[in-house]
Amino acid sequence: MVAIKKKQNHNPLAEYIQRLQTGQALLADSPQNVLEVVGILKSYGVIIDAYSKNLIYISENQFLVFFPFFKYFNGEINFQKLLRHWWHDRINFEYAEYCMKAMMWHGGGGLDAYLDTKEFQERAEAVIKAKFGINPLIMGLNQLFPDFLTEQLRMSAYYSGLGQFWRVMADMFLDLSDRYDRGEIKTIPDVVEHIKAGLVADALKPITYAVKLNKKVYEIIPQSLGLTFLADTAIPYVEAVFFRGTPFLGTVSYNAQGYQVPPDQSRFQYGALYADPLPIGGAGIPPTLLMQDMRHYLPEYLHEVYRRGLRGEDDLRVQICMTFQKSMFCVTTAAILGLMPYPADSEEASEQEANRVYLEKWMDRLQNSQLLNVNK
């Protein structure tokens, strides 16, 4: 009998498993990388602070509004602000909605599961009745299409959930910048540890959602449900936005016969960790909106780095995107380490093996990512 030799799996990212096991990060540690990551996360923190406030405002004040013309105004409507809006001199809240819709479409976590339950249906019906009970046209429409208004409330729940997630992350990133300015953050592992500590500290922060109608509060996501920050918003966000994402219009064919878009959502690799930065700045590329927003809030020390680049200000959005990907690999490192089955420094052989299997699965997913490029 001829012995069959077992085929060895040669993952090109195998070295990163050892990095993570020895307390390092997916992104190489260097003073330049630290400066770039902290600087971009400061800008990003300012932006998602604004995104968070707007998403929560929409969920609480624009729910079941069919034509929310002023949803980006946060309730402050005046002629000067309207002119700036028309001139596009504003933060691009459309990108926040893009992330929200990606989360809703890909699903995952307790929030997604809850929105398909009978309990949510009953709570939604109570809100719909309170808002449109004396409107026979809308109530008739609701009878004809019973899931239409309920689906709008599902979307509102995701507006609120993502808003609450970004509220935590904004504070975390701005605090990181403050610590860097005080000299407390000096290495990439320091950055990762700060983010991991923040994720752990707020892991069990409740995710709730309520609206007010006619002076009565209706709980759509009650605290008793037990939804939490890490399991029900953070992990689904990483899955939907960092890994899967959605194909950008104009870059691939949506024609089924073209076979350019995978038929299975779980095989999508269009997220922030995989995207090619070069198309940034083109029409139909949603992250362009985020990069445009962040360019206005760059710390001067980071802006100066970009000015010294090969093309200076001409490819600023692309440079921002490349730095942003570096920072997202730091956030991903924090998530990987925070969810690892056993402590990285465990001396138990069985625990070490379990950690290794866990890390190998992550590296398999990152094989087609930009990980090697950000470390060049």
pLDDT tens, position by position, 208-247: 999 999 899 999 999 999 999 999 999 999 999 999 999 8
Give the pLDDT score at 280.
85
Beta bridge partners, 332, equal none
Domain borders along the chain are: 14-65+90-245+286-374
Element (H, E) at 216: strand 216-221
Q: Which residue has the tokens 């009745």?
A: 129
Two structure tokens written together for 362? 């992550």
For the entire predicted model, the pTM comes to 0.92
Instruction: With beta carbons less than 8 A apart as the criterion, state whether 132 and 213 touch.
Output: no
What is d(CA 97, CA 116) in angstroms, rounded to the nearest whole number? 21
- Residues of the chain with pLDDT below 50 are 1-8
SS3 of residue 376 by DSSP: coil
For 258-311, what is each residue's pLDDT tens digit? 889 988 888 899 999 999 998 888 877 899 999 999 999 999 999 999 998 777
Q: 213 phi and psi, to 5 degrees?
A: -135, 125
